[in-house]
Amino acid sequence: DIQMTQSPSSVSASVGDRVTITCRASQGISNWLVWYQQKPGKAPKLLVHAASSLQSGVPSRFSGSGSGTDFTLTISSLQPEDFATYYCQQAHSFPWTFGQGTKVEIK
Amino acid sequence: QVQLVESGGGVVQPGRSLRLSCAASGFTFSNFGMQWVRQAPGKGLEWVAVISHDGKVQYHGDSVKGRFTLSRDNSKNTLYMQMNSLRVEDTAVYYCAKEKDFRASHCLDSWGQGTLVAVSS
């Protein structure tokens, strides 16, 4: 199975900050990388698919990049509604696997 | 709009069985693969299983292989997951989710609200 490793596991940031989350796959997955956002008590929400394609309706301050084994999710200017946990997930092959999550907290 | 509503969760003893359902609406159910993802209390997301649009193909995560089986009734727009030989470590909120693309597994663009399964003696 492909292992997904996210870093950091948590980050404290202020409104307006630029935040970067990294995800590394244990083997090459081309661009089959997805990012989700999850708020407490809620279902995950699709943010980015195919490593860099923004899901419809997601604000442009979110962006994804990378290919192969190393990927990044960037929030260019953190907004109050962005405080949440973010997960990467590989869709290269079954079983799909998620990273352990990165919690973005208020500084 | 797309709506997914899970049901069937509850408290069950170890070794017993449970069947979850996911009622879908707002899209052509028979055109999309469907998946289950779970989340243990206070933990991250864990991928559980997928079933193809026509029900002919399914894959499972290692932790549920041989115990959980997916099925679907495209005439009723409903997804099912039969969970057998339940273990304490199966305790989680179970989400059903719709694949984004027509007959292709790339990502999950719609999720249900989740149903809690608690395995305890």
Contact B95 A97 (CB under 8 A): no
> Which region holds residue B17: left if phi is over 0, alpha if psi is between -120 and 50, else beta?
beta
Burial of A60 (0-12, 13-18, 19+ CB in 10 A): exposed
How would you write the pLDDT of chain A (107 residues) with one tens digit per residue? 999 999 999 999 999 999 999 999 999 999 999 999 999 999 999 999 999 999 999 999 999 999 999 999 999 999 999 999 999 999 999 999 999 999 999 88
C-beta neighbour count of A58 within 10 angstroms = 16
On chain A, the residues whose CB falls within 8 A of the CB of B22 are none
What is the tens place of the pLDDT at every residue in B64-105?
999 999 999 999 999 999 999 999 999 999 999 999 988 788
B57 CB within 8 Å of a chain A CB: no
DSSP code at position A55: P
- Structural element, H or E, at residue A15: none
Which residues are within 8 A (CB) of B115 and not within 5 positions of it... i.e. 6 or more apart?
Answer: B6, B7, B8, B9, B20, B93, B94
B100 CB within 8 Å of a chain A CB: yes
C-beta neighbour count of B104 within 10 angstroms = 12
A62 CB within 8 Å of a chain B CB: no
